Amino acid sequence: MSSLDFLPNSPTLANAGRATGQLAGCFVLKIEDSMTGIMKTMTDMAMIQKSGGGTGMSFSNLRPEGDMVSTTRGVSSGPISFMIMYNAVTEAVKQGGMRRGANMGILRVDHPDIAKFCKVKQTEGVLNNFNISVAITDEFMNAVEKDTIFELRNPKDGKVTKRVQAKEVFDQIIEGAWKLGEPGVLFIDKVNQMHALPGYKIESTNPCGEEPLLPYESCNLGSINLANMVDEKGNFNEEKFIDTIEVAVRFLDNVIDVTKFPMPEIKEMTKKTRKIGLGVMGWHDCLIKMGIAYDQPQAIEWADHIMEILKETALEVSTELGVEKGPFPLWGESIYHEWKHAPRNAERITIAPTGTLSTIANCSSGIEPHYKLAYVRNILDKKFEVKVELLNNQLEQYDITWDQIIANDGRIGKMNVNLKLKRLFKTSLEIAPEDHVKMQAVFQKHTEAAVSKTINLPFEATRDEVAKIIVLAYKCGCKGLTVYRDGSRQEQVLDSRTEWPKERPSILKGQSYKERTGCGSIYVNIASIHNKPYEVMTSMGKAGGCENAMVEALSRVISVSLRYGTPATVIIDQLRGIRCPNSLVGKPAKLSCPDVIGQKMEEEMAGQVSIATPGKKRNTCVCGGEMIYQNGCYECLKCGNSKCHTG
């Protein structure tokens, strides 16, 4: 740990030695279809989040909206209403007393309320403490492929409530994933087919999707820093890797015994299976140090080789522990029931997102490629330049600077630099979605639990492309998938803090534009600081009166908003499309003076890679920084604010 070769999950780091003593990172609960069951699970969720853990739950057992409730002679409000209630409780309870908790909400694809579930997060602010995924069955995927009818069934009695075209439901899932990155998909039959305890049914995962667990199971995670397994000559040190695995497996198994579980049911179930989640981080950095591009076939070969070592070594050590201390109590009902010496742990391998851990270890996150190579981050009111340090040695050789990289949105893909360097340091959006899926699939091949990874798509990606990626992941053997189309979400800016000067500098450089509108000629001047719009000034040619006064007032409001950190793309989105009676047709049409100002702001930013492309919506943090979506979580590159806190 001191050399950052291995780190356990955040709750272990934060709670070891403290009174709470809760060291597990993720939990799955079960919700029974009764008011008593629903309220009990909600209380359990709150207690787990208070202790620092994240929770996953399937709402598939709850009867659909409008279904008859015999005990009260009323009708059910459906699973979505209870998810909203759970979300409100999570909002009020801070995880570990420090931050709000995170949930995973699952609904089976054959549940009658599946259409509403797919759309629920399209309303801003609804279920903001939930990641949501659809539990997809093999039957459903076969029906989609053959374009046949699919039955929706009431979970209370199994009766068919509706027959629909499978592709209609699939399109609803795709629409949500394309618009918002949610719902994700969980291939639930594949999860249960590959489970170590085939007689027990898994219904849900932890908040980031890497841990499918039985009801009331918990799992403690840890990750090995693969970047530290490569020597100065670029050779992967297998001996060091194996030594680290051996220590890490014993470490994580010991964590189970010292953890103070939040409730007796969790302690009992966790110790029956003794699952641990050993994974990796720093994968992209590891490849860079070996001189291999992330999307190169050789990277897949190395992933296969490294994960085979991890899986086999972890099993050997766990089996040794089984001899020393005894196997997990349910081993007789597991796939190991005929083994002479069963392992200590029912499952051992997980690929987690490692958001916090990779920050501590200063390496790339999980198995993700770097999202950016350089950016500025604010922590405790101090500014830190975050850089991929492996690029440091290349700067002088290739005559590039960090300032140039930052000016190019933290990427070198569009810079005039060495092609090999560009390939090695490709960021997530510069890698083809199919290559993301292939990488996830090869890690899943050797992972007993699941893999947390985001398939990043460009803003221009179509719904059909999203659909193809989900089908590809299913066919490649992935247990689940999160697709995120860059810039597809837009958060409301609640507060603004920025390093920009709030007092206008005495000199600003800008571009001036003249455009004809239905109300006369308009002159728009846009000035920038750090390649971002800072001030907008407008006037209406010879026009006077209200027209000139209104556009001047509008430009002042825009300038103040920009100065206090409101992203320009948010302002553009408000201006574009406003019509007045004197609209001018053409390409592009001049719908109004505000519309023209929005057009000119778009044109000004078209060549500035640090700002979204024309018409593109960016996901923005309360500090004004850019939020990225990765591993089912949102994280601000500037201040570190996150909407998912597990791992």
Over residues 281-314, the pLDDT tens digits come to: 999 999 999 999 999 999 999 999 999 999 999 9
The dihedral built from the CA positions of residue 244, 247, 253 and 259, taken in this order, carries a sign that is negative
Quickly tell me which residue has 């189309």 as its tokens: 485
For the cut 50, the answer to whether the pLDDT of residue 151 exceeds it is yes
Please, are residues 28 and 214 in contact by the beta-carbon 8 Å criterion?
A: yes
Write down the catalytic residue from 15, 61, 203, 208: 208
- Find how far residue 417's CA is from the centre of its chain: 31
pLDDT digits (tens, 9 = 90+) for 259-270: 999 999 999 999
**Interatomic CA distance for residues 22 and 373, integer angstroms:** 35
Containing 80, the helix (H) or strand (E) segment is helix 79-92
The residue annotated as part of the active site, out of 182, 203, 210, 430, is 210
126 pLDDT band (50/70/90 cuts)?
Answer: confident
Whole-angstrom distance, CA of residue 355 vs CA of residue 472: 26
Higher pLDDT, 634 or 604: 604
Ordered strands of the 510-517 beta sheet:
510-517, 520-529, 532-539
Please indicate whether residue 208 is annotated as part of the active site: yes
DSSP state of 332: G
Q: 3-class DSSP state for residue 537? A: strand
Confidence of residue 566 (pLDDT cuts 50, 70, 90): confident
List, for residues 451-496, the tens digit of each pLDDT value: 999 999 988 899 999 999 999 999 999 999 999 988 776 442 222 2
Q: Is the pLDDT of residue 375 over 70?
A: yes
Cα of first residue to Cα of last residue in the chain, in angstroms, is 16
For residues 349 and 565, the model is more confident at 349
Residue with tokens 């078209």: 606
For residue 388, pLDDT over 80 is answered with yes
Q: What integer pLDDT is reported at residue 499 of this predicted model?
A: 46
Least reliable range by pLDDT among 180-194, 572-586, 625-639: 625-639
Mean pLDDT score, 402-410: 87
CA dist 319 and 349 (Å) reads 14
The first and second tokens of residue 221, run together, are 């995670």
Identify whether the C-beta of residue 263 lies closer than 8 Å to the C-beta of residue 321: no
Q: Which two tokens stand for residue 563?
A: 């100065």
Q: Which two tokens stand for residue 427?
A: 């960021």
Alpha carbons within 13 angstroms on the beta-carbon side of residue 638 total 16
Least confident interval from 370-384, 558-572, 624-638? 624-638
- pLDDT top residue among 397 and 175: 175
Ranked by mean pLDDT, the top range of 83-92, 423-432, 511-520, 596-605 is 423-432
Helix spans in 105-149 (H): 114-119, 138-146
| The residue to which tokens 């993720």 are assigned | 26
pLDDT over 60 at 187, yes or no: yes
Phi, psi at residue 318, to the nearest 5°? -65, -35
Model confidence at 92: pLDDT above 90: no
Q: How far apart are CA 280 and CA 349, in angstroms?
A: 9
In angstroms, the CA 642 to CA 128 distance is 12
Is pLDDT above 80 for 613?
A: no
Instruction: Kindly list the distances between the CA atom of residue 334 and the CA atoms of 30, 65, 556, in Å, as whole numbers in the listed order.
Output: 21, 37, 69
What is the number of alpha carbons within 13 Å of residue 430 lying toward its C-beta? 20
Determine the residue type at 363.
C
DSSP 547-593: HHHHHHHHHHHHHHHHHTT--HHHHHHHHTT---TT-B-SSS-B--H
In this predicted structure, the answer to whether residue 609 has a pLDDT above a threshold of 50 is no
pLDDT grade for 382, boundaries at 50, 70 and 90: low
CA distance 629 to 128: 14
Rounded-to-integer distance, Cα 30 and Cα 18, Å = 28
Give the C-alpha separation, 601 to 568, whole Å: 8
The answer for residues whose C-beta is within 8 angstroms of residue 38's C-beta and 6 or more apart is 31, 32, 62, 82
| pLDDT of 608 | 41
The answer to whether the beta carbons of residues 52 and 24 sit under 8 Å apart is: no
Helices (H) and strands (E) in the chain, counts: 20, 25
Residue whose entry in the numeric block shows the structure tokens 């009111």 = 381
For 171-180, 310-319, 436-445, 635-644, which range has the lowest pLDDT when averaged over its residues?
A: 635-644
87 vs 127: CA distance, rounded Å: 6
CA distance 451 to 352: 6
Residue 267 confidence (pLDDT): 97
Rounded to whole angstroms, how far apart are CA atoms 540 and 517?
A: 9
Residue 620: name the closest of 578, 575, 564, 549 by CA.
564
Q: In this predicted structure, what is the pLDDT of residue 70? A: 67
Token readout for 440 is: 């996830």
For the residues 399-413, what does the mean pLDDT come to?
88
Distance of CA 435 to the CA centre of its chain: 18
Contact 57, 105 (CB under 8 A): yes
H/E stretch holding 245: helix 238-258
- Contact status, residue 189 vs residue 138, Cβ threshold 8 Å: yes
Angle in degrees, CA 484, 486, 487, rounded to 5? 120
Give me the chain's average pLDDT, please. Answer: 87
Q: For the segment 50-84, what is each residue's pLDDT rounded down to a tens digit?
A: 888 899 999 999 999 988 776 666 788 899 999 99
Per-domain residue ranges for the chain? 374-416, 510-605
CA distance 249 to 348: 8
The whole-angstrom separation of Cα 118 and Cα 131 is: 12
Query: Is there a contact between 59 and 107 (Cβ–Cβ < 8 Å)?
Result: yes
For residues 540 and 528, the answer to whether their CB atoms sit within 8 Å is no
Q: Could you give the percent of the chain with pLDDT greater than 70?
A: 86
Torsions phi, psi of 49, nearest 5?
A: -65, -35
Q: What is the pLDDT of residue 272?
A: 98
Give the integer Cα–Cα distance in Å for 593 and 570.
Answer: 17
Structure tokens at 131: 């990641």
Using an 8 Å Cβ cutoff, are 342 and 271 in contact? no
Q: Please choose, from the candidates 447, 443, 477, the residue with its C-alpha nearest in 3D space to the C-alpha of residue 300.
A: 443
Q: Which of 626, 45, 634 is nearest to 353 (CA)?
A: 634
**206 in catalytic set:** yes
Among 206, 408, 548, 619, the active-site one is 206
**pLDDT score for 433:** 95
Among 321-325, 358-362, 618-622, which is the least confidently predicted range? 618-622
**Pick from 27-31, 69-73, 115-119: least confident:** 69-73
Work out the pLDDT band at 615, boundaries 50, 70, 90.
Answer: very low
Residue 587 tokens, joined: 């390409």
Structure tokens at 145: 């492929």
**Which residues are paired to 535 by β-bridges?**
527
Q: Is pLDDT at 531 greater than 90 in this prediction?
A: no
500 or 387, which is more confident?
Answer: 387
Mean pLDDT of 549-571: 81
Angle between helices 433-445 and 297-325 (to 10 degrees): 30
